[in-house]
């Protein structure tokens, strides 16, 4: 099945990212190639585009959709935590722009057998890289009650985390929990009926937490953002699109740290560190327009942060 995904904040992100039609640009989350197609349309024959994704479906889609690009195109199957290695292997030292479009794609949600969705029954999977050994099945059936509760608290921010973890452990005692449908049933039993009537689907936060744990989504972000900033040329742009508060917090804090000047203790009367800011943050986070939200409700929590490299 072809990789279909509606790109969020498409115009805003690409117009902020591409400043040189002859530049080198990296899309760290190729997905359905929506952003990629827009980026390459802004580049001429001297430009170069690198698309990275760990999902083989995204790689195949990218090769098809970008086949007629006028610029040079490299499509690489890898996790974006390896961006430094990917650029080294392509013998590229510096680039003019890097884009991260975080979160799970519409395609992955819509393909039932990938096991990302609480709306469709499927094997418990949730691997963004289908060749990875560790899956949602392992988290649900092998984590202790304490571990389960902690990830649901940390990554799902669900007030019923401890109760959900208790019910999961009890539910798997007789036989493993093997499908998304079975897990949804357990979660619904754990959350009181009155609480289920209001707000989002009762399984939404737990599924988000398990997905983040399976793919180590938050653990790789800070280093990937930092490496990306190091590989930008002066004037190069970093664009980060986030979809929930946890990843947005990491993006915000990393950019703030890299934009700092002096890092001396406040007790020192003069600066001794000579630390220079590497980037400047460009404006406030941008959010989808009312028109975009009407066309794509999944974009409602999206934020775009943009930074520019100012010193090597």
Residue 45 confidence (pLDDT): 97
CB-CB contact of 128 with 115 (8 Å): no
- C-alpha to C-alpha distance for 187 and 171, rounded to whole angstroms: 10
- Token pair recorded at residue 181: 């449908």
pLDDT tier for residue 3 given thresholds of 50, 70 and 90: low
Which residue segments constitute the domains of the chain, with CATH numbers given?
A: 10-103+218-309 (3.40.50.150), 115-215 (1.10.150.170)
Q: What is the per-residue pLDDT for 183?
A: 97
Given a cut of 70, whether residue 49 has pLDDT beyond it is yes
Can you give the pLDDT at residue 1? 47
Q: Among the ranges 107-116, 146-155, 254-263, which has the highest mean pLDDT value?
A: 146-155
Per-residue confidence (pLDDT) for residue 222, from 0 to 100: 95
Q: Give the model confidence (pLDDT) of 57-91 as tens digits.
A: 999 999 999 999 999 999 999 999 999 999 999 99
Q: With 70 as the cut, is the pLDDT of residue 108 above it?
A: no
Looking at residue 283, what DSSP letter applies?
A: S
What totals of helices (H) and strands (E) does the chain contain, helices first? 14, 7
* Residue 35 confidence (pLDDT): 96
State residue 91's pLDDT score.
Answer: 98
The mean pLDDT of 182-187, rounded to a whole number, is 97
Q: What is the pLDDT of residue 33?
A: 94
Taking residues 13-30, report their average pLDDT: 97
Q: Give the pLDDT confidence score for residue 105 in this predicted structure.
A: 65
CB–CB of 49/36 below 8 Å?
A: yes
Instruction: State CA 294 to chain mean position distance.
Output: 22
């Amino acid at each position: 099945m072809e990789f279909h995904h509606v790109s969020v904040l498409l115009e805003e992100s690409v117009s902020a990212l591409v400043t040189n039609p002859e530049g080198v640009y990296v899309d760290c989350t190729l997905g359905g190639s929506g952003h990629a197609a827009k980026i390459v349309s802004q580049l001429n024959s001297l430009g170069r585009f690198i698309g990275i994704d760990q999902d083989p479906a995204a790689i195949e889609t990218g090769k098809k959709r970008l086949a007629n690009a006028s610029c040079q195109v490299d499509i690489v199957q890898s996790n974006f935590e390896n961006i430094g290695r990917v650029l080294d292997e392509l013998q590229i030292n510096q680039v003019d722009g890097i884009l991260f479009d975080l979160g799970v794609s519409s395609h992955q949600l819509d393909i039932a057998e990938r096991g990302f969705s609480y709306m469709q029954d499927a094997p418990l999977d949730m691997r963004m890289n289908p060749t990875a050994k560790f899956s949602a099945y392992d988290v649900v059936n092998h984590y202790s009650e304490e571990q389960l509760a902690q990830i649901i608290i940390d990554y799902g921010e669900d007030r019923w985390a401890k109760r959900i973890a208790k019910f999961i452990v009890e539910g798997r005692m007789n036989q493993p929990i093997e499908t998304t449908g079975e897990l949804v049933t357990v979660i619904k039993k754990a959350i009181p009926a009155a609480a289920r009537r209001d707000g989002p689907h009762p399984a939404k936060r737990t599924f988000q937490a398990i997905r983040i744990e399976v793919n180590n989504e938050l653990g790789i972000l800070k280093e990937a953002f930092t490496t990306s900033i190091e590989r930008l040329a002066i004037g190069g742009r970093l664009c980060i699109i986030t979809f929930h508060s946890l990843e947005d917090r990491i993006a915000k804090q990393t950019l703030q740290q890299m934009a700092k000047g002096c890092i001396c203790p406040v007790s020192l009367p003069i600066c001794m560190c000579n630390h220079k800011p590497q980037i400047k943050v460009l404006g406030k986070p941008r959010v989808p327009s009312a028109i975009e939200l009407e066309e794509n409700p999944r974009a409602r929590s999206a934020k775009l942060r943009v930074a520019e490299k100012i010193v090597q």
